[in-house]
Amino acid sequence: MVVIDGGPLTREQVVAVVRDHAPVEVGDAALAEVTKTREHVERLAEATTPTYGVSTGFGALATRHIPLDRRAALQRSLIRSHAAGAGDPVEPEVVRGLMLLRLRTLATGRTGVRPAIVDTLTGLLNAGITPVVHEYGSLGCSGDLAPLSAVALALMGEGDVTVDGAVHSAKDALYEAGIAPLELAEKEGLALINGTDGMLGMLVLALHDLHRLLDVADLTAAMSVEALLGTDRVFAPELQALRPHPGQAVSAARMTALLSGSAIVASHRGPHCNRVQDAYSLRCAPQVHGAARDTVAYVETVADRELAAAIDNPVVLPDGRVESNGNFHGAPVAYPLDFLAIPVADVASMAERRTDRMLDANRSHGLPPFLADDPGVDSGHMIAQYTQAAIVSEMKRLAVPASVDSIPSSAMQEDHVSMGWSAARKLRTSIDGLTTVLAIELLTAARALDLRAPLTPAPATGAAVAALRRAVPGPGPDRHLAPEIAAAEALIRSGELP
């Protein structure tokens, strides 16, 4: 159970709810604050003086005062008009993320909604009812408007949702779950859609994935060093201490531990070895992986601050004032999303270079061309490396920042936007790409280590080879690599590797 008490959520709690479907409960103190704040809004709704978001239109239409008998229609119309996304549906975990994070902000009591809004959104999450949200429609400013409007539409019993992967009408799904559709009151439509919850949710999920993937990158790099008869001396702590970046030290220590006890590494250690230096893709792996780790560490600080934020416009302050603000602007989240795409692409690029080296008989120190059983008849891993190269090339394009762009909207009222949602979407694509690139390096390095027999790999890298062997078919002249790559990806996602 994840209890939302009006304070910050942790990244771990977000993942638990979004991916593991942990149940959610809003605490009594948070509900009391929501109730108290709603009383301020209702007083303003009855006043003759217009208040933005309560008794006026929105955006470029904020100067129009809306009469009392038209305000329910205003809220309903706001959601219907803003639920204008297009493109393919985004992943259910992304939708659950933006639902949870919007719920957390509503529970702070700074948005002015009724407790019924909080209860209904909690009910949808716990019932596994996930609104259909489309790819395009957010500019990352004034909130993730179209995505969050699709969620608000479902709360009203309109639009489509998924339950256990099947598409249903929201009306039918709410009825089956015993949840009454909402009729929105003053301020509530705006409060449901004016946040950066979609991009923040994707950022938290990306950070969770990258912790695993950077560990895997250290493993596949160590396996490639071993398979290519490289040295582990360059990862020694006294050398890493000369450049005291924390991420670099972690990656170097991991690679040293992974290679400990390797008969393959020991076989070419000593004065008889005529090699002076390994290629950069081997020797400098801790520097690149470590820089990626340090970028992740910085981005975690941003994510944690956002997980403590109450994003809405206008906001209701504890003393009852309703104030406009600019906290909905997505730049603080958009920049880190773009930052992460750079090291993700670079880690993948380095992995592809190591893979290519293992396939080239001129550089692999005795391995057969393309690691083929019968070179010429069998192409081995040749085209698997092509797949890596194609993905890495795409990832380099995806590393171009979205947040340097801006396109004005809402009759120039919203004349600068963050494009943070777009930054988040391309980062998710890049993380999928990194997973595939590392899966191919894992397969290739494991095959190369098998070919170094009778020399044995380190216990840790040998355990990785054994785990992979359990997951995919053994080598042979009729290998079908696409299922093997998919199985290696699944193994990486499972967390079963050293």
Instruction: Give the catalytic positions in this structure.
Output: 52
- DSSP, res 61: G
- Distance, first Cα to last Cα, the chain: 30
Burial label for 377, CB within 10 Å (0-12, 13-18, 19+), is exposed
Q: How far apart are CA 446 and CA 366, in angstroms?
A: 15
Q: In the numeric block, which tokens belong to residue 345?
A: 């692409």
Residue 415 CB coordination number (10 Å) = 12
φ/ψ of 466, rounded to 5, equals: -65, -40
| Cα radius of gyration (the chain) | 27
Q: How many CB atoms lie within 10 A of CB 447?
A: 24
How big, in percent rounded to 5, are the helix, strand and coil portions of the chain? 60, 5, 35
Could you tell me if residue 368 is left (phi over 0), alpha (psi between -120 and 50 degrees) or otherwise beta?
A: beta
Residue bearing tokens 């104030």: 323
Do residues 482 and 443 make contact, with C-beta atoms less than 8 angstroms apart?
no
Gap between the Cα atoms of 396 and 344, Å rounded: 9
Provide CB contacts within 8 A for 137, sequence distance 6+. 84, 85, 86, 145, 146, 147
- For residue 182, give the 3-state DSSP assignment: coil
Q: What is the DSSP string of 265-317?
A: HHHT-STT-------HHHHTHHHHHHHHHHHHHHHHHHHHHHTT----SSEE-
β-partners of residue 167 are 162
Query: Which value, to the nearest 10 degrees, does the dihedral of the CA atoms of residues 371, 374, 376, 378 take?
Result: -70
What are the structure tokens assigned to 445, written together?
A: 């390095």
What token pair was written down for 179?
A: 């949840």
Distance, in Å, from the CA atom of 104 to the CA atom of 10, rounded to the nearest integer, reads 11
| CA neighbor of 312 nearest in space, from 130, 93, 137, 101 | 101
